[in-house]
Amino acid sequence: MNVTPPPAATDWGPFGRPLFEDPDTRALSRVGVVDVGSNSVRLVVFDGAARSPAYFYNEKIMCALGAGLSETGTLSPEGRIRALNALRRFQHLAKGMRLPPLTIVATAAVRDASDGPDFCDEVLRETGLKIHVIDGAEEARLSAQGVLLGWPGSYGLVCDIGGSSMELAEIQDGEVGKRVTSSLGPLKLRDVKGGRKGRKAHIKEVIAGLREEMGPQKDRLFLVGGSWRAIARIDMHRRGYPLKVLHEYRMTAKDVRDTIKFIEKADLDRLRGETGTSSSRMSLVPFAADVLARLIRTFKPKDIAVSSYGIREGLLYEQMPQRIRDLDPLIEACRVAEAKESRLPGFGATLHDFVKPLFRTTPPARRRLVEAACLLHDVSWRAHPDYRAEVCFENATRANLGGLKHSERVFLGLALLHRYRNKRQGTSFENLYDLLDERGRHEAEVLGKAMRFGAMLMVTQDSDIGTLNWQPRKRVLHLTLPARLEPLYGEVAESRLRSLANALEADVSVKIARR
């Protein structure tokens, strides 16, 4: 196998070392990244699939380093103390987890403050941790790459809002294009003179300039950053949206306009409690809302999606060889989960081959969910049998998985629920089912019941467990079993096959292949 040699060590960016030395690697060695932002300092420890890193540990401390920066030109003295204490804590946690040295990046507040270099020196002197300060264009690029980690091949405009800045970057065909930075962070907007009228005029002028630099951007708008997520959480609350997962949450321009009006009329303290938003974050929401309103009015995106992935994920994506970038993040995450958690790792692929004939005419986007479900079909076996179906549904719909729309989460959850349970009625998740259309719910049931039957034949990961042949026009489901597996086809297996046939409204033909 020919492997392209890695670039020189100086090319490994803030990590200072390669994370993906083997281009064929499927799992990521645990790595800690700290983002020193204008409003918060966050530690994320990544683990799991190389193409779809999971959050082994995630902690945020609100420090407000950038508070008052516009007026004083320096970092907030209180913010500096909080940030230094946060970094001390994170360093101690990292040692306890036996992590490699933490990788720390700082954005607008530290790069703009006159005492930013002094703060970095203090951190190095007190903790031994080196902070890498990135400029606005680099911040925009890394945020866009974070979006690409979760949405392979996506296209549109990425907007990352922090406390002291807002960046825009275009993405298309897996590449980052034009990018710009601005001072439209909520902490800085608080200091704009002239009240809300003056602030809105300032926002309008700055965004008009960004529009001149970026050109038309009418595809999807990807929102990155805590203030955007807070607005999305309020939108969920206003709409009574049942699935409280922010990643890949979708809004229309009208949704955003209605939510901004809702925020303007709301008691923010009460709204903070109802949505679980911190007081420091909620205080910035009105400023961010004014920016978002003008952003949408100016660029007119076709739709709006929230991304929980940003700079930290972008740093990982930066180092990924193209062969890893080209992998499906959902399938890779499911493969790693199967390898770690299932009773018979590798049987998921056998099961997938077994059920595939039922989905020959299914679109590719749905077929990848079929494969994902098969890989996950046994990872919750440790749950109590009375709750296993619901545990499967909850894991699928709320797990940290990239590359999944909310309707696809429900499809995956329903398929896994039916892997352990014939009927989906009577669960605590029925309010989520309508996020998937009726056809999708039926296909998920068929898949779940096919996996439920196929699992009765689980012997070895590479075993021939027979074949299914589905004739939809004749409404006949054919099963051919190897003779050596005939003892496995008992009453329970026969009952599960009948349940699958009933879901397909089909007759069953069973053949034992004897040599």
Can you tell me the distance from the alpha carbon of 158 to that of 272, in angstroms, rounded to the nearest whole number?
Answer: 26
Name the token pair of 400: 């940290």
What are the strands, taking DSSP E only, across 403-488? 467-471, 476-482
Count of other CB atoms within 10 angstroms of residue 118: 13
* Residues contacting 491, CB < 8 A, separation 6+: none
Nearest partner of 69 among 193, 190, 199, judged by Cα: 190
pTM exceeds 0.85 for this model: yes
Give the other-Cβ count within 10 Å of 490's Cβ. 10
Give pLDDT, residue 23.
55
Q: How far apart are CA 140 and CA 168, in angstroms?
A: 6
DSSP E strands, 183-236: 220-224
Q: Is 513 exposed, middle or buried (0-12, 13-18, 19+ CB in 10 A)?
A: middle
Give CA–CA dist 129/127, Å, rounded: 5
Using alpha carbons, list the distances in angstroms from residue 352 to 373, 439, 461, 465. Answer: 9, 21, 11, 11
For 279, counting Cβ atoms within 10 Å of its Cβ (0-12 exposed, 13-18 middle, 19+ buried), the class is: exposed
Q: Give the per-residue pLDDT at 365.
A: 93
Residue ranges and CATH numbers for the domains of the chain are: 9-135+314-323 (3.30.420.40), 137-312 (3.30.420.150), 329-461 (1.10.3210.10)
pLDDT of amino acid 428:
87
Q: What are phi and psi of 427, to 5 degrees?
A: -95, 170
Report the DSSP pairing between strands 507-513 and 476-482: parallel
* Res 24: pLDDT: 60
- Rounded to whole angstroms, the Cα distance separating 133 from 36 reads 9
* Cα-based distances in Å from 147 to 66, 377, 465, 487: 25, 28, 40, 50
| Residue 201 near residue 211 (C-beta atoms within 8 A) | no
CA 248 distance to own-chain centroid: 7
Phi, psi of 50 (to 5 degrees): -60, -40
The whole-number mean pLDDT for each consecutive block of 10 residues of the chain, a chain of 515 residues, reads 38 76 69 94 91 91 91 95 97 94 94 96 95 95 94 92 94 93 93 93 97 93 96 97 95 97 96 94 95 97 94 91 90 92 94 96 95 96 93 90 91 97 90 96 98 90 85 95 92 96 96 83
- What is the per-residue pLDDT for 407? 97
As a whole number of angstroms, the distance between CA 141 and CA 170 comes to 9
∠ CA 292-109-47, nearest 5°, is 80
Q: Indicate the length of the chain as a whole number.
A: 515
